[in-house]
Chains A and B, each alone.
Chain A
Amino acid sequence: MLRGIKIWNIAAAALLVLMAVGPLLAAEKTKTLDRIVAFVNGDAILLSELDARYELAVKLTPGITRRQVLQTMINRDLLLAQARKIFPEPVSADKAIQEYTGLKIRAFVRISGTAARNFYDANKKQLGGVSFDSVKDQIERLLEEKEINRRLQAYIGTLRGNAHIKTFLENTPAILH
């Protein structure tokens, strides 16, 4: 069969494909040096920042996507903006966020003895039959972290609802001429 296909036919077909795709290749003339990938209210997040953060994140969490990293960066910006109202510079950004979430969320989380007991009863087998008293503190810490995480997510959801956020990770906006 293949022998029946003439070499010049293949060349002509390839030429046609090339002519069709060629202009598209020619149109992609700009090599991006840096650009905005998202903004959160008045602050821009850049491609270079995302790349740097992604490089670190992928080492810690293999398989994490750039989109997930960008969402984390947006959440961090939202929290930082709130934290800066109470902890302005020169307090570092990480410290400000930590202190702020401590004040705003951690301070209000209390795990009751009943909740710890219920968790113990529900997971007695997985805990290997150890006594409640020996794991009580660990259970309380675990439940506390879970609750903090839940409240933090809810708080970030509220912040997101009130914020002006746009992302341009894959789709860049049309430039008007």
Chain B
Amino acid sequence: MKKPLFLKGFFVILFLFLSAFLMAPRSSFAAAAANAPIKKIKVEGLYSISSDELIYLLCLRSSNVIVPENLARGIKRAFKKGIFDYISVGRDESDPDVIIVKVRERDRIKDIRFKIKGKGVSKSFLEDNMILKKRGFMRYDLLGKAESDLREALSVLGYPRARVTITTVRPDKKGKNPYRINLDVSVETGQPVLIKEVKIVGRPEAEVRKYVKMAGGVYDQYKLRAQINALHDYYVRKHYLNPSVGPYSFSQGVLYINVVPGASYETFFYGNHALGDKALAALLPFGEAGAVREDLIEEAVQKIKDAYREKGYPFIQVAPVWAEKDGSYIVKFYIFEDEKITVASVSFAGTSLPVKSLDDFLVLREGSLYNPDLIETDRSNLQDFYASLGYLDASVPEPVVAKAGPHKVAIAYHITEGRKYLVGQVDVEGGGPVPTKQLRAAVRIKPGDIYNEIDITNARYRLLELYNDQGYADCKVAIKRDFSVKDARVKLVYTITTGQKFFFGKNVVTGNYQTKLKVIQRELLHKQGDPFSQKILLKERQKLYELGLFRAVDVSELPAYNATFDTVYRVSEAKPGAVDVGAGYGEYEKYRGFLGLSYNNLFGMNRTGSINLEASSIEKRAVLSYLEPWFLGTNLPFRATVLVESRSQLNYDTRQVSYKLIRYSGSAGVEKKLTPHVKGEFYYEFSLVRTYDVVPGVVLSREDVGTLAISAIKPSIEYDTRDNPFDPRAGVLAGATFKLASAAFLSQTDFAKVVVRAARYQALSSRLVLAIDGRVGLAEGLGETTDLPIVERFFLGGRDSVRGYTQDALGPKAADGTPVGGNAFFCGNLEFRQALTKDWGIVPFLDAGNVWPTIGQIRALDIRFSTGLGLRFKTPVGPLRIDYGIKLSRREGESRSKIDFSIGHAF
């Protein structure tokens, strides 16, 4: 059958058309694509970060043309992000304006699931011995090693026939994040190898039985090695010089352990009084050296002598006697302590300087123990001191030490001062872009100043810092000194070689798997194109640490290109959640407990949410709070809190309920650091308070019974220079809080109250801190309100105010003795915080204070005092404390004293 001619023609035309269609884009691409500006960027395969971040790192910008070197640098930079295996950038052949970025992210291990068949192997043991970790990146090349590592670990554990299989499973098939995998670890332990008998070779078994207890158990070599180490330590403690425990072998169910304790030594001290046997034995080098030899005995003698000299025995003599018998050594030290010497006086001849200023540089001063080893230190310090004052030719020879009465010596220095050199002229050359005025300010040294090498070197560092901060990372500063003996002047010339100016490039942030990039970016202090500065990088690192989100922050720069440094911020995220649980017992509250849950990285934005629950026999409280550190996109922390509280106020003596209240309260406001030490706050607070079951005598105002709405604003300011808020040794904490409740804010009660406080902390010595605190509170009802509602009145007394008194017990009381609070208070505290050891301390204290019904009724002489002693134990969140307070102005019917327990300092 013949095809019609038109059909033949149709096929030919179709063929030509299709050929042209399929080939056309490729042929046109070459002409059009080479340098077409970018119109659109398509990203494929990206899940863990935003396209914007990737495009930023790649340095691709819409309407820009692609420069190959920049693109290469961009891909390398993006790779530094640490989450990619592969990145490719290309042009769409059909549309050369479109750039296509394809990435393959690294697989991360979402979970490791263990399936264990057999006994004696825990999940944590397998986790510890897995080279691949949960939440880490998957290394497929290590899969085989991971299996063999586990098999090896199980074999050491006593399961040599264990089977291990690891398989990977990609759980997320819906496309949320396909780069997450699970590892399924299947373990079949098999039968363990058991030890039927333990044979000790070289020593009686009874001697080692206490330490080696393996018989009858699994041949667990981890346990065995620990027991062998314990046995080794036992022999060291017993003064064996080179104990050898092991090697061990295992055959036919029998474990053989070789034990050779080796030679031992015994030491004896005679004639020692100032230093005990134990202290002297600790100085001996025999155990560490594993031998008793002539040179080690000499070393021991020297160490003993040094220890005695430190104690003020300069004439100490030590005679060693030693002998060997049956491989054991006996070493005897005969000690002749002689007299203990103190320094009677230190005198200086030939000096024009005040003796006090020289004395400050000495270790051996009047009254100190005399140690001849320190003479050279003192002489050298004096020499350096003279040099620092410009006495470059000064000579401080070794002092004359002479007997000055029984057990005393006098030290006499004969100094030759020589001429005092001053700075003659200071020049700075090669300053480049920095104005001379700024350079002079950095140098600080002026003609006529004392010639001092430390000042001169410091000036060089300041100049370097000045230039480094302006981007001159390679800046060099040389100092030339021209000495003029004629007029004792020195001309200084600082020569600056600025080098190239560098700039900040792009930022690569890595390790922020939970935390949003924005949270890190907003803390950075530089912009792209700013002069590069290491100081800025250090500050940024500090700021990132302060977020509380990271365990580690590392900041580094990539190799420079075009005078630009890209910076890499490597963060290691900390666990964002915390749980606090506690329980206690108080005299007033009886049993109490609390539970706190907090999470400081909500939505990856460093927002904190927390809930705190507290309960005791008289109180139940729940507080929900939320903190947004960057409110409305600015560095303005916003905090909102909701509180629900139910409380019963008891009479302290009878424990009868004086009143009960339920409070629902919400507050919201902002905080702002105005300077590094000054913080301002502004909050709005609304509370609904229901007071009921009130004993008649407690009622002061109409607001004290029933339900009351309190709506108030609360501005405050705080000045804080404390070095450590939990345990300060220096600084000031001062502040004022003002609260205004008014009908204007829909409040049912009107009042104003202010609390002002100031505390000062001063270290008096390395172990003693003086702490003083004063607080004053004043309140006044406004409009129809005369007395404040009971929840707003001031109370005083107890663990954080005037110790020795019952909690809140000072001031006005109802007829049944229940404290009713007042509108004014004063509280003052004085503490001497004395450290006894690293963790323990004692605190003698004096407290004073009182509460008055109204401001007009304040009586300056009506102050209640208490004193006492506290015990402190340091913890990371402040000291645990017990305070025993004694009332100094006790009234009839009051107890004499009271003990308080708490956490944290009283102020």
Contacts and interface: CB of A to CB of B under 8 A. Distances in A.
Contacts of B476: none
B906 interface: no
A29 B85 contact: no
Contacts of B26: 25
Contacts of B92: 29-30
A33 B66 contact: yes
A15 B11 contact: yes
Contact of A36 (B80, B82, B86, B105): B86
A26 B87 CA distance: 22
Given A26-B22, A31-B93, A35-B87, A44 B44 contact: no
A121 B103 CA distance: 59
B19 interface: yes
B3 interface: yes
A173 B86 contact: yes
Interface stretch (A5-13, A71-79, A133-141, A148-156): A5-13
A7 B8 contact: yes
Interface stretch (A54-62, A96-104, A110-118, A164-172): A164-172
B72 A11 contact: no
Given A6-B3, A44-B76, A175-B103, A12 B85 contact: no
Contacts of B102: 30, 175
Contact of A18 (B19, B93, B179): B19
A77 to B, nearest CB: 12
B222 interface: no
A34 B89 contact: yes
Nearest to B92: A29
B559 interface: yes
A33 B19 contact: no
Contacts of B11: 8, 11-12, 15
A172 to B, nearest CB: 7
A39 B88 contact: no
Interface residues of B, number: 49
Interface in B139-191: 139, 141, 175, 178-179
A159 to B, nearest CB: 14
Interface in A64-104: 89
A89 B565 CA distance: 14
Given A31-B33, A35-B89, A49 B15 contact: no
A22 B18 contact: yes
B114 interface: no
A31 B75 contact: no
B351 interface: no
A126 interface: no
Given A6-B3, A7-B8, A15 B91 contact: no
Contacts of A175: 44-45, 102-104
Contact of B71 (A8, A12, A34, A166): A34
A48 interface: yes
B564 to A, nearest CB: 15
Contact of B85 (A6, A8, A18, A166): A166
B68 interface: yes
A174 interface: yes
A30 B90 contact: yes
Contact of A44 (B14, B25, B47, B79): B79
Contacts of B179: 176
B85 to A, nearest CB: 6
Contact of B94 (A22, A29, A89): A29
Given A11-B15, A35-B75, A44-B75, A176 B104 contact: yes
A3 to B, nearest CB: 15
Nearest to A168: B86
Interface in B13-54: 14-15, 18-19, 22, 25-26, 29, 33, 44-45, 47
Contacts of A168: 86
A34 B103 contact: no
A46 interface: yes
Contacts of A26: 22
Contact of B104 (A18, A33, A46, A174): A174
B45 A15 contact: no
A130 to B, nearest CB: 51
A14 to B, nearest CB: 6
Given A11-B11, A25-B22, A36 B88 contact: yes
B289 to A, nearest CB: 31
Nearest to B79: A44
Contact of B82 (A25, A33, A42): A42
A175 B104 CA distance: 5
Contacts of A44: 75-76, 79, 87
Interface string B313-346: 0000000000000000000000000000000000
Nearest to B96: A31
Nearest to A46: B72
A176 to B, nearest CB: 4
A18 B15 contact: yes
A158 to B, nearest CB: 15
A34 B14 CA distance: 37
B93 A30 contact: yes
Contacts of A35: 75, 86-90
A123 B47 CA distance: 64
Nearest to A93: B559
B860 interface: no
A131 interface: no
A90 to B, nearest CB: 9
Contacts of B22: 18, 22, 25-26
B180 to A, nearest CB: 11
A26 B24 CA distance: 11
Interface of A: 6-8, 11-12, 14-15, 18-19, 22, 25-26, 28-36, 39, 42-44, 46, 48-49, 89, 164, 166, 168, 172-177
In the A-B complex, the 10 residue pairs with the smallest Cβ-Cβ separation, listed nearest first, are: A35-B88, A175-B45, A30-B90, A11-B11, A44-B79, A8-B8, A176-B178, A173-B104, A32-B90, A31-B91
Given A30-B102, A34-B75, A49-B72, 6 more contacts: A22-B18, A29-B92, A29-B100, A32-B89, A36-B84, A36-B88
10 contacts: A30-B88, A32-B89, A32-B90, A33-B91, A39-B85, A42-B80, A173-B86, A175-B104, A177-B44, A177-B175
